[in-house]
Copies of this chain bind each other. A is one copy, B any other.
Amino acid sequence: MERSLIESIAAALPADGVRVVRGVGDDAAVVRVGGKLCVTSVDAMVEGVHFRLDDGSASPFDVGWRALAGALSDLAAMGSKPGEAYIALGVSRQAGEEQALALMRGALQLATATGTVLAGGDVVKSPVLTACVTVVGWADDERELIGRDGALPGDLVGVTGRLGGKPGRPVPRLAEGRALARAGAHAMIDLSDGLATDARHIGERSGVSLEIELGQLPLDAGVSGWEQAATAGEDYELCFCVAPADRGRVERVLHEADGAPLTWVGRVSDGPPGASFLDEHGVQQRLEGFEHRW
């Protein structure tokens, strides 16, 4: 979606208030309620835009799984525990009941695997199969959560897993996100829009520049090169910034969390807010990702 629309919407919204700790501009909104923090993210997937059923590239079960995975990945990027999920299902005449139920079964299986409770939703008619997933996570203390705005010059930039692949049933990095938050990471984002876009988000929100070395990117099997790895989007991995002194601790807690691969892919500088990308020869590359969350 065009950037200007998201910026226009953000400009029309009220600034964060006392109750809303983090609003537009992070992976999820954070609201303070009593002694708890409520972390909420919404993710929509639309047939023909985010997936196709007619060419066999995705099954309805996969779509349900991935729709919930996308929303939970936002909670992972905040360092939040998952809580409840709500799914609004748009069911087309073509898809019909059976496919709608298969979609729900896919979401339910991932919900069970991650300790998320499917607690409600809505079912409406729609010209194409659509799943709008709202997830709510919980934290006891603001210090348990990480935003996009805390990166500091000198920080190391790391990513989990391998980039550019499109696993049929991705597992959101919930354990890794919480471990990174506890280990003191300064900023974190999930790579739903691809590293080219999401590294820039951290840089812009933090007022720093993320200098990414494209030759260091961990490529998933079958990925042609760093361009695909950095721009393909719909990655469910995490990108994070940590102080160099915390490097050993972060490597240890990530290893303990789930054994997810960790790769250091760059450094934070005090350059112009955003991100820059250097290829193997030290040549700066322009990378265009996409953009859709606000």
Residues of A within 8 A of B (CB): 1-2, 4-6, 8-9, 12-14, 17, 19-20, 23-24, 28-29, 31, 33-36, 38, 40-46, 48-50, 83-84, 86-88, 90-91, 97, 100-101, 104-105, 108, 117-128, 130, 132, 134, 136, 138, 292-294
The one of B4, B44, B91, B136 that contacts A40, using a Cβ cutoff of 8 Å: B136
Contact B123 A294 (CB under 8 A): yes
Given contacts A101-B5, A104-B12, A117-B14, contact A122 B86 (CB under 8 A): no
Q: Which residues of B contact A123 (CB under 8 A)?
A: 1, 5-6, 9, 292-294
Contact of A122 among B13, B105, B118, B292 (CB under 8 A): B292
Q: Are A119 and B83 in contact (CB under 8 A)?
A: no
Q: Would you give the shortest CB distance from A290 to chain B, in whole angstroms? A: 10
Specify which of A4, A33, A48, A292 lies most central, judged by the most chain B CB atoms within 10 Å of its CB: A33
Distance in Å from the Cβ of A87 to the closest Cβ of chain B? 8
Complex-state Cα separation, A234 to B33, whole angstroms: 31
Interface CB pairs A-B, < 8 A, 6: A6-B123, A19-B84, A20-B84, A34-B36, A42-B121, A49-B126
Chain B residue with Cβ nearest A101: B8
Complex contact B5–A100 (CB within 8 A): yes
Q: Do A2 and B97 touch (CB < 8 A)?
A: yes
Assess whether B120 is in contact with A126, with CB atoms less than 8 Å apart.
no
Q: Which residues of B contact A49 (CB under 8 A)?
A: 124-126
Complexed CA–CA distance, A5 and B31 (Å): 34
- A-B residue pairs, 10 tightest by C-beta: A132-B132, A29-B120, A29-B119, A44-B88, A134-B134, A34-B36, A1-B123, A34-B34, A42-B86, A49-B125
Contacts A14-B117, A41-B120, A91-B1: A127 and B33 contacting too (C-beta < 8 A)?
Answer: no
